[in-house]
Amino acid sequence: MTRPRAVIVGAGLGGCMLAHALLATHEVTLVERGESVEDPRFPLRDVGLPAVTEPHTGAGLGGSTQLWHNGLIEIDPDVFEAHWPWPKTVLDPYYEQAFPLLSGLPLSKVRAAIEDLRCRYRALGMPEARLPGLYYPRWPRNLWTSLELAGRVAVVRGDVNGFELDEGGRVTAVTLAGAAGRVAADVVVLAAGGLGTPVLLQKLARHHPLPALDHAGCHYEDHPMGFVGEVQVAVPLYRLWNYQVPGTDGNLRLPLVVVRKGMHISFQLRPAATYYRASRRERVGSVLNLLRRNPWNPLNYVKLLSHWDDVLDILSFKFGIRLPTRHYTLVMCAQTPAQPELAVWSEVDAATGQEVRIRNWVISDAFRAELRASIDDVFAAMGPVITSSRVFPNWFEQLYTGAHHSGTARLSANAQTGVCDGDGLVHGLANLYVCDGSAIPASGIANTGLTIAALALRLADHLGARAARST
Ligand SMILES: Cc1cc2nc3c(=O)[nH]c(=O)nc-3n(C[C@H](O)[C@H](O)[C@H](O)COP(=O)(O)OP(=O)(O)OC[C@H]3O[C@@H](n4cnc5c(N)ncnc54)[C@H](O)[C@@H]3O)c2cc1C
């Protein structure tokens, strides 16, 4: 019996995970346009807040997982209640399946370690606040290679730029830019990322307008992250801030979460070489990203010598050496209200003739004030264990993108509030699905990778059942 042909647009996190799971029931073709992680043919321009982390989206086999740090965290159940079309319990079985595929470990083991570490934090007098667990496997995984997809799925190199539909609202093929042609499909899944999928949906809307497609590129979310202040503590936190989970080579961190106006804002404590910073005029920040991307460039090691906090981080993370210190910087990672207006679209650059994706990421003055107040909240919550605290005067300018592009084709109860239904099917179409960061309606303070993987596994089950029904 012939199996249905699934065409997945984009070989990033969502695309690779879905391809892996869908092989059981479908013929799978991945269409990927990038030749390298920073492919200059597909530029991206930030017109809102400056991005600071560059690049903040990847291309090629593995997509942005060629850049990511592989930090794994579940979204808080309250965030599901407030913003998702279904509760977290729906995704829980898929979180459990996704976690080992991204880390090699069962989620139950890390959940137990999170409980244990919470007790240790509280024994030190840390507040009874929310303390979610963020687990970092020692070596980040590029999903294309870690899932060993080469030779198992068909790959078409091409830039998808349109769709062919029949009269019943079924997508029959995707079309490729240039002379590359078309790829026929029984089911099409967009996994082009939070900044790629909305652009494709906007192109579809030009020929096939639908109420749901008006939301493509709206409701954008990302996490502003950055070094916002410092504290001196009276307790030996240095043993716990980057906790090696027994029996694994990965590390667990427990950010401290405060909630303001329904928004979650987290703070991680990172050992600080304060004496050095004072002499460098408030210089904070990190060169770890640069170092990860270009480990062979000697200049990055020279830069490292002017970022002693990074040296403490490397000693702890890679070598398990935890130097006693009472000084910590606070790394903020904040949920922001979804931007209702259009935030992601594409334009043709008149000078080069190239299509450019545009991201307009904005933080309102009112929300900036909430972020500032949340720093005082966290100081107050930590009151019993801190002996001094200070907000960096330039804290807002230090914020950088978390690169967790989401919301731009969000799951929603109906076409009036978002692009896709609860399964990821575009409202109003028969066989066009979304499976990447853009489907996430809200993430709280959680990095989105684990959730994208869980959504992909859930979609694979859905498509498998759908295929079984139609045979
Ligand atoms: C420096 C950095 C660190 C990060 N650290 C973490 C972390 O610790 N934890 C975490 O959870 N997340 C992290 N992330 C974010 C994480 O990498 C992304 O959320 C995730 O990879 C997004 O997956 P995706 O499937 O939505 O898109 P992507 O992985 O970006 O994949 C999209 C793919 O689609 C392709 N594509 C786009 N348009 C087209 C088209 N028209 N035709 C064909 N192909 C197309 C792209 O080339 C790309 O390969 C980090 C990101 C960065 C940049």
Q: How does pLDDT run across 255-312, given as a tens digit for each residue? A: 999 999 999 999 999 887 654 454 444 456 677 777 777 788 888 787 777 777 777 7
Q: What is the total count of domains within the chain?
A: 1
In a domain, 462, yes or no: yes
Distance 325 CA to ligand 1 centre (A): 36
In a domain, 30, yes or no: yes
In a domain, 33, yes or no: yes
Given phi > 0 = left and psi -120 to 50 = alpha, else beta, which region is 435?
beta
In a domain, 395, yes or no: no
Query: Does ligand 1 have an atom closer than 6 angstroms to the CB of 191?
Result: yes
Given phi > 0 = left and psi -120 to 50 = alpha, else beta, which region is 331?
beta
Look up the domain containing 194 and give its range: 1-69+140-221+405-471
What token pair was written down for 116?
């244990």
* Local structure of residue 121 (DSSP, 8 states): H
Query: Does ligand 1 have an atom closer than 6 angstroms to the CB of 404?
Result: yes
Helix (H) or strand (E) holding 116: helix 107-123
The whole-chain average pLDDT of the chain stands at 92
In sequence order, the 6+-apart residues with CB closer than 8 A to the CB of 331 are: 225, 226, 227, 228, 267, 268, 269, 270
Query: Does ligand 1 have an atom closer than 6 angstroms to the CB of 193?
Result: yes
The DSSP secondary structure of 42-95, one letter per residue, reads: S-EEE-SS---SS--S--STTGGGGT----B-PPPHHHHHHHSSS-HHHHHHHH
7: domain CATH number is: 3.50.50.60
In a domain, 211, yes or no: yes
In ligand 1, which atom is closest to the CA atom of 192?
34
Q: What is the mean pLDDT of residues 303-322?
A: 76
pLDDT at 431 over 70: yes
Amino acid present at 450: L
Pocket residue to mutate for ligand 1, from 68, 190, 199, most atoms within 8 A of Cβ: 68
In a domain, 196, yes or no: yes
Q: What is the mean pLDDT of residues 160-171?
A: 94
pTM: 0.94
Q: Report CA 426 to chain centroid distance, whole Å.
A: 21
In a domain, 161, yes or no: yes
In a domain, 250, yes or no: no
pLDDT at 276: 47
Distance 310 CA to ligand 1 centre (A): 25
Distance 404 CA to ligand 1 centre (A): 8
Query: Does ligand 1 have an atom closer than 6 angstroms to the CB of 407?
Result: no
